[in-house]
Amino acid sequence: MPSAGKKIRVIIADDSALMRKVLKDALESDGSIEVIGEARNGIEAVNLTLSLNPDVVIMDVVMPRMDGITAIKEIMAKKPTPILVFSSITQEGSKAALDALEAGALEVIAKPGGLPTVKNLGDLAKELIRKVKILATIGTVKLTARLMLKRLRKPQRTATLLVPKKKEIPLAVPAPVVAFIASSTGGPQTLMRIVPKISSSIPAATLIVQHMPPLFTKSLAERLDRASQIKVVEASEDNTVLTGYGYVAPGGYHMLVKLKRGKPVIELDKGPKVHGVRPAADVTMKSIVKVWGSAIVAAVLTGMGRDGAEGAVEIKKAGGYVIAQDERTSIVWGMPRAVIERGAADVVLPVDKIGDEINRVLRLKVRRCPVKWAKLQIRSI
């Protein structure tokens, strides 16, 4: 983390000279950021990171000689540094970005397609500057400590190995209770340690808001689905919220739930960004309170800012249950801290205990479900 008054030092790794210039101009339009090095491939990115000690590295995925994912693994092994992935908005690009996040990168930003315009360059600059400033607050010390904890943890069978092959979800009916999960920076890795633990035997649905660009959320849903007991999909307009299913809010849309013809149905909204993001957790949380009332278990995970705090207050007022991730296991302890500071957290837990707690409280909520329209669903299960 840069000391007070010092600029945030950034390295850019991209094989395109034009893209490196676009990124440098965008970043240095903010006086608090300076680009201290440029790399044309992964080998140069690793060497520059080791020699220049940047606060943040921006990494393309597809590069000659050494790709971005391999470079990320080397950097995290030799000198843990906050890394922002810069990936194309394609199906292959989104999958590669998730591989990069699993390798140790912390954030992803979409590379603009086609010819740059004044508008998309302006939007890119704002997003780059915002995310670089977020990552610069993490620092190498916390990343190193987190990697040490991960290495010291006793080897366990992964969630993927514990989960049977995907099969048809039995008795998929409109969900009488719901789990809600919100996350941002560091979220994809954290979700992979929580969602696979959610039991498909509980008559509940799971709604997930992760701050990510369009298409990237589809790849995230597919990856969660392969590792999970529940069926995880990217949410679509007019999806009925069913038991045994998880719904990831699509990038670029707010996800709401409304009661239609006695069933909870998803609506997608292109309205203004909230807290600078779309999807925003607060939007979804406030809508589900109107549908499920106290029959909600919410978890607010790692991320910068306060998205999720207002929604957590509303869920708490309605009698729902709110979990906040603890500081030690959060990459960025902003969103969970905001929930705690508002007095909305029922419990503060490390990441490895959150999935079990969601299951425990969901079972209690099912037995005590107060939602009149949902009681009929419970009796039919």
Told to judge if 356 belongs to the known catalytic residues of this protein, a careful annotator would answer: no
381 CB burial (10 A radius; 0-12, 13-18, 19+): exposed
- Among candidate residues 211, 275, 287, 294, the one labeled active-site is 211
Q: 314 near 290, Cβ under 8 Å?
A: no
CA 55, distance to chain mean position in Å, is 22
On the CB side of 29, CA atoms within 13 Å amount to 16
**C-alpha span between 246 and 240 (Å, rounded):** 11
Gyration radius of the chain's alpha carbons: 21
**C-alpha span between 193 and 144 (Å, rounded):** 19
**C-alpha span between 76 and 68 (Å, rounded):** 12
- Among candidate residues 184, 228, 287, 330, the one labeled active-site is 184
**C-alpha span between 180 and 283 (Å, rounded):** 12
**C-alpha span between 150 and 102 (Å, rounded):** 13
DSSP code for 211: -
Told to judge if 307 belongs to the known catalytic residues of this protein, a careful annotator would answer: yes
- Among candidate residues 55, 282, 307, 326, the one labeled active-site is 307
Query: What stretches of 157-244 adopt beta strand conformation (E)?
Result: 177-183, 204-210, 231-234
CA 235, distance to chain mean position in Å, is 15
Alpha helix (H) residue ranges in the chain: 17-28, 42-52, 68-78, 91-103, 118-136, 139-152, 159-162, 187-191, 216-227, 281-292, 309-317, 335-341, 351-367, 372-379
**C-alpha span between 224 and 296 (Å, rounded):** 21
Told to judge if 184 belongs to the known catalytic residues of this protein, a careful annotator would answer: yes
Find where tokens 């943040």 sit.
56
Find where tokens 């360059």 sit.
121
Query: Tokens in use for 81?
Result: 């540094």
Q: List residues with catalytic annotation.
A: 184, 211, 307
